[in-house]
Amino acid sequence: MRSAAGLALVVLLAAGCWNWSFPTDLLADGPGPDSPVADLRVDGGQDFALDLEPDLIPDQAPPECPPCTNPATPICDKGKCRPCDSDGECLNGFCNATGECPAASDIAHVNSSSRSCPGNGDKATPFCAFVDGADSGKAHVLVEPGNYDGDVTLDAPQEIHGKPGAILKVSACDKLLIEKAKVTLVGFTIEGSIKIVSGTGVLLRDRIGPSACIGVEATGELTLERSFIFGHDLGGVHVKDKYSLVNNIIAQNGTPGGPQFGAIKLEVAPSGSRLMHNTIAFNQSKGGAKEGAIRCEAAAAGSMCVNCLFWGNTPNDQGYPMGPNCNPLFSIEDYKSPASAPSHTSNFTVTDPKFVSLTPGTDPADYHIQPTSPARDKGNPLATGLPADDYDGDPRSDGQPDIGADEI
Ligand SMILES: [Ca+2]
Ligand SMILES: [Ca+2]
């Protein structure tokens, strides 16, 4: 039904009297179906488009977009179509890693609290089990908060998002596997460890640990970004293929009598690999020539840890032997032993990196840095492939990257 408010607005518009300060009673009443204002709509589900007659568009209107029909740039923002950057921007609650908003029909839903178990994956009748989402054949899976059995082999190309509070419980080593396909896991708490057997694992904004295993072991390609890897007895991250390890906090992994590495073991270093802006703290390995932080068995450009913050790793930070390409650059190092550190002219040592809250050996410790941290603004701004944001998603836009995973 056409409302009085709608009619009044038509009169206002026709008379060229548009004003953004509507009387509140007009706004509350809302437009009628035939009103031009009824065309203020969600276009394609993702962007807002003013669909008024051109001569009725007021000068004060915010910049419009052309219809954002390109799937790669679905969001209208200040007159330009751009990729989405968070699930909340997409009508279906899913923004994938390439910035697209998938259609509802391409998303399987999982909710452990559903009353319609086992469910069929629709939004109204979600699957109850994580494995059913993984086996759904859908390219995207959206997992609601709750506890899920994480003993699952992921072997179909998929991007799986966990909402805050979505927890995968993994019972033992080698129980959560990625095989044969590219699988992206975003936003999960993984209580246990994960192994990429083949294919490609993309782990973004995940919290992984603790476990009696290697936290993330990758025979296939690994992208690990903005994640917290902690409390794994056999070491934090072991890569055997191409890798991108950026903006991670890797802490409290390894044991004195256990593995040959604490935080990271690089067994190969294919070109194109990236290792930068990681905070690597309080990891440990067994003594001798073993590595508390990084054990580097192969040397290539990507195996340099650029703008990394090493702190409190034992028995030493980097370990030996290390090829020259494995040496950190523009990083903070904390040499406890051996007494004679190798010469890395662009690195420096500090007496205290000033983490926000630190009780070593406990969880959670907060490895963000304080504003007074010596890591602030000390990274190399000219390094190739620097990330645009940090562990939290904060932009690294001041031209002086802070060393480690956190940008103030
Ligand atoms: Ca900075
Ligand atoms: Ca930050």
What is the mean pLDDT of the segment spanning 285-290? Answer: 66
Q: Compute the distance from residue 294 Cα to the ligand 1 centre, in Å.
A: 25
User: Do the Cβ atoms of 163 and 206 come closer than 8 Å?
Assistant: no
Say what percent of the chain tops pLDDT 70: 75
* C-alpha 333 to ligand 2 mean position (Å): 20
Q: Which ligand sits closest to the CA of 391?
A: 2
- Tens of pLDDT, residue by residue over 150-193, are 999 999 999 999 999 999 999 999 999 999 999 999 999 999 99
Quick one: pLDDT band at residue 140, thresholds 50, 70, 90?
Answer: very high
Q: Tell me how far apart the alpha carbons of residues 51 and 16 are, in angstroms, rounded to a whole number.
A: 16
Q: How far is the CA of 168 from the centre of ligand 2 (A)?
A: 26
| Cis amide leading into 33 (omega within 30) | no
The ligand that comes nearest to the alpha carbon of residue 399 is 1
Which among 311, 308, 314 has a CA at the least distance from the CA of 292? 314
Q: Which ligand is nearest to the CA of 397?
A: 1
- Span 120-138, average pLDDT: 97
Cα-based distances in Å from 387 to 41, 100, 129, 396: 35, 20, 35, 8
Beta strands of 146-236 (E only): which ranges? 146-149, 153-154, 158-162, 166-169, 177-178, 182-186, 189-191, 194-196, 200-204, 207-208, 216-218, 221-225, 228-230
Ligand nearest to the Cα of 370, by number = 2
- Tell me how far the alpha carbon of residue 321 lies from the centroid of ligand 1, in angstroms: 32
Domain ranges, ordered by start, for the chain = 209-369
pLDDT at 34 over 60: no
pLDDT tens per residue across span 335-374: 544 444 444 446 777 778 899 987 755 556 899 999 999 9
Average pLDDT value over all residues in the chain: 81
Cα–Cα distance measured from residue 193 to residue 147, given in angstroms and rounded to the nearest whole number:
16
pLDDT band per the 50, 70, 90 thresholds, residue 116: confident
Q: Which ligand is nearest to the CA of 247?
A: 2
Give the number of whichever ligand sits closest to the CA of residue 381.
Answer: 1
CB 16 within 8 A of CB 62: no
- Spatial contact of 258 and 336, defined as CB atoms under 8 Å apart: no
User: pLDDT tier at 324 (50, 70, 90 boundaries)?
Assistant: low
291 pLDDT tier (thresholds 50, 70, 90): confident
Which of 157-166, 290-299, 321-330, 371-380 bottoms out in mean pLDDT, i.e. has the lowest? 321-330
Q: Which two tokens stand for residue 27?
A: 């706004």
On the CB side of 129, CA atoms within 13 Å amount to 11
Higher pLDDT, 128 or 304: 128
Ligand 1 centroid, distance to 76 Cα (angstroms): 29
Confidence of residue 272 (pLDDT cuts 50, 70, 90): confident
The mean pLDDT value for 224-237 works out to 96
Q: How far apart are CA 223 and CA 18, in angstroms?
A: 51
Q: Is the pLDDT of residue 401 over 70?
A: yes
Q: State the distance from the centre of ligand 1 to the C-alpha of 373, rounded, in angstroms.
A: 11
Please give the single-letter amino acid code of residue 289: A
Distance 395 CA to ligand 1 centre (A): 9
- pLDDT at residue 289 tops 60: no
